Amino acid sequence: MDLTVTNSLVSQLGRFKVRQCLAFSVHLERTLCALDGATRLIVDPGQVRTPGEPTDLHASEIFKSYVVLSWDPPSPRGPAPLWYVVEKCVAGTGVWQRVNAAVRLHSPRCPVFDLHDGQEYQFRVCSVNVYGSSQASAPSGPIRKVDVDGEARHEHVSDSHVM
C-alpha cells in the first residue's frame, strides 16, 4: 500500500509514526523523504492491524423463514482473530440495525431471521478485531424471503456499488 502526502515541507522530513492510514491502522516507523513537495510512504501489509472490509456480500440461500448471507473475508485481515458484525435495513431507507448484537460471528456466513414477509432488505458487514473495525462492505442489493415454504432460492447479488 502506498500513501502519498502532498505539500510537505523540507522541515517536515524525519521519522514519523503513522497511527491511522485510510481504513487501516498501522504502527510502524519509516524515514520519509520529500521530492518536489510530495512524500511517499510504503506501508508493509504485514503491519496492517485493523481488518479491511468484507467483499462479495450476497444471499447464498433464501427461504420462507430466513435468509443466509455469505461473503468473502477481508484482505488485508490483520494478525488478530477476526469476527463480523452484520447489519440490515429496509431497502432504500438507509437506517441500519445490527443483526448479531449478542454473538461474535467468526464465520463469513450468517442466517438472518426476523424478516417481514414481502419486505425487501439490504445487508452490509464489517470486519472487527481487537485493533478496530473496518468500514462496512458495499450494501447488498435488495433481498426478500420467498413466498412458498420449502422452495429455497439460491441467488448471487454482486456488490452494486461501494460506499
pLDDT tens figures, 88-100 = 999 999 999 999 9
Domain annotation covers residue 63: yes
| pLDDT of 39 above 80 | no
> Are both 78 and 10 inside the same structural domain?
no
> Are both 127 and 74 inside the same structural domain?
yes
Domain annotation covers residue 32: yes
Q: How confident is the model at residue 126 (pLDDT cuts 50, 70, 90)?
A: very high
> Are both 100 and 127 inside the same structural domain?
yes
Name the burial class of residue 3, with classes exposed (0-12), middle (13-18) and buried (19+) by CB atoms within 10 angstroms of its CB: middle
> Are both 32 and 71 inside the same structural domain?
no
How many Å apart are CA 120 and CA 87, to the nearest integer? 14
Domain annotation covers residue 13: yes
- The CATH number given to whatever domain includes residue 100 is 2.60.40.10
> Are both 129 and 62 inside the same structural domain?
yes
> Are both 36 and 86 inside the same structural domain?
no
Nearest Cα residue to 130 out of 21, 37, 10, 49: 49
The sign of the dihedral angle between the CA atoms of 129, 135, 138, 142 is positive
> Are both 28 and 63 inside the same structural domain?
no
The tally of domains found in the chain comes to 2
> Are both 36 and 80 inside the same structural domain?
no
pLDDT at 37: 47
Domain annotation covers residue 42: yes
pLDDT at 69: 97
Q: Domain limits at 21?
A: 2-47
Per residue in 50-93, pLDDT (tens digit) is 888 999 999 999 999 999 999 999 987 777 899 999 999 999 99
Average pLDDT, the chain: 74
> Are both 72 and 92 inside the same structural domain?
yes
> Are both 20 and 43 inside the same structural domain?
yes
pLDDT at 99: 94
